[in-house]
Amino acid sequence: MEPSPPVVFVRRHPVGGYEKTAQAHREGTLHKMLEVTGQAEGPSYDLIVIGGGSGGLAASKEAAKLGKKVMVLDFVVPTPLGTKWGLGGTCVNVGCIPKKLMHQTALLGQAIRDAPKFGWNLNEKAIKHSWDTMTEAVQNYIGSLNWGYRVSLRENSVTYENAYAEFVGPHKIKATNNKGVVKFYIAERFLIATGERPRYLGIPGDKEYCITSDDLFSLPYCPGKTLVVGASYVALECAGFLAGLGLDVTVMVRSILLRGFDQDMANKVGEYMEEHGIKFIRKYVPSKIEQIKQGTPGLLRVTAHSTEDSGVFKGEYNTVLLAIGRDACTRKIGLEKVGVKINEKTGKIPVNDEEQTNVPYIYAIGDVLEDKLELTPVAIQAGRLLVQRLYGGGKTKCDYVNVPTTVFTPMEYGACGYSEEKAIEKFGEKNIEVYHSYFWPLEWTVPSRDNNKCYAKIICSIPEKERVIGFHVLAPNAGEITQGFAAAIKCGMTKKVLDSTIGIHPVCAEIFTTLSVTKRSRANILQSGC
């Protein structure tokens, strides 16, 4: 005779959810109970993931591997210009992947300019860039990734629906596809991984005439003379590769560059871009965008006002790219119906150190989290670790501090750990030592360009035997350099360990094994050779 299933007592949660209180409760009984009592109106799952980006996909597959019944709901709301894309989220479709490929396109342009100094005979009249060829190649690759994600979900027995998800009640969700067909599902737990979308200015003409990064990577024409509005990493990366393709590019900055990053490094990034032909208009914000000529790309007139005085700027551009920040996709998914709290100003979701919202059965990862890093690998790591804790007996929590990242501006900027400003704030200026130096990549010596532009800096905690708490580098291939050092930093690397490490000669990363000058000393760090 089979044993009776455990009894599950359910009471109303103060915010409208259900709270499980039975001692005998086991995984999966809640959704079965809802089906039996007629509250389901649709199939039930152990976990429903809302959002098919990198974090959501990683979490869903991890849960399925642990034997759970999982669904992913993903829907891309088209941009004001009608741009949309396939499964995979921002990173794959309109973020990291196309950005890095277009950055590489610009680097190839620089390599072509350097080549004659190394003996390559090039017919410069025959060298020109084709926007159409580049975007077609990039979009073909992205399309292959979209298909691969769908196949991977199927192979892992994860149910996928291209439908817009909204909470409608406790443990219950409504999914609407692009044809307006509505279905309802219930789940034991939910994971919000909806990410963010670009912000608009809220001025006349912004949505009608401007583009964002959501539109740029599949733009069917070369953008021509471009105004990039914003100073985020998205703004500077896009401005960098567009200028690298030979376009006339201007960046309009409201306040500071790369807010949240080390400002010493951010200013060096800006200086390098300016020295290489990218114009900057500082302390101005657009107030009106007008179309003065139709076409692809057409012509736009931008009116902007100073943030410091009564100054007015007017300029004409073929394309205006808005990169002023991103908003969390949390306000239109029914969170208020189940009582999930959000930051009303930002839309971000506060969570505890296990990515749990104030509603116990609802979790969140990725860019929607309040006060967390907005990076694809962070979302992936957080999603996998969360699922391992929920279903696999795991204990490890995501580390949101020692996270390596790279800004793919013309001079790449890699960082891990604390910025100088944050280190001073947390540890105190007297308790940190900053070692730094300029350097000259060997590859740049023959073309004789950009000496004393690459820069290395580490921040050390003096009371902890100079443990490295911040790592920063401006250099070609900065991401490749930073990735390796990030592992060492997680292992507690000290300045003494760095000094005892033999460098690989002649590479850029070698500079970190020979740093000897402190910022405090104000000694000269300019280099005369590699």
Residues 6 or more apart whose CB falls under 8 angstroms from that of 429 comprise none
Sign of CA dihedral 54, 55, 60, 62: positive
Q: How crowded is the C-beta side of 441, counted as CA atoms within 13 Å?
A: 17
DSSP annotation of 369 reads: B
How far apart are alpha carbons 200 and 413 in whole angstroms? Answer: 27
Q: β-strand 172-177 against 163-169: which pairing, if any?
A: antiparallel
Q: Give one DSSP letter per residue of 475-527, joined into a string.
A: STTHHHHHHHHHHHHHTT-BHHHHHTSPPPTT-GGGGGGS---BTTTT-----
The residue behind tokens 């930093």 is 489
Residues 6 or more apart whose CB falls under 8 angstroms from that of 32 comprise 44
What the block records as the tokens of 246 is 């030979």
Q: How far apart are the first and last CA of the chain?
A: 80
How far apart are alpha carbons 384 and 407 in whole angstroms? Answer: 25
What the block records as the tokens of 464 is 């902890």
Residues 6 or more apart whose CB falls under 8 angstroms from that of 421 comprise 262, 263
Q: Give one DSSP letter per residue of 199-232, joined into a string.
A: ----STTHHHH-EEHHHHTT-SS---SEEEE--S
Active site members: 505
Q: Is 388 helix (H, G, I), strand (E, B) or coil?
A: helix
| Other Cβ atoms within 10 Å of 138 Cβ, number | 19
Residue 446 · residue 118 · CB < 8 Å: yes
Residue 418 · residue 450 · CB < 8 Å: no
DSSP annotation of 179 reads: T
Q: Give one DSSP letter per residue of 126-191, joined into a string.
A: G----HHHHHHHHHHHHHHHHHHHHHHHHHTT-EEE-EEEEEEETTEEEEEETT--EEEEEEEEEE
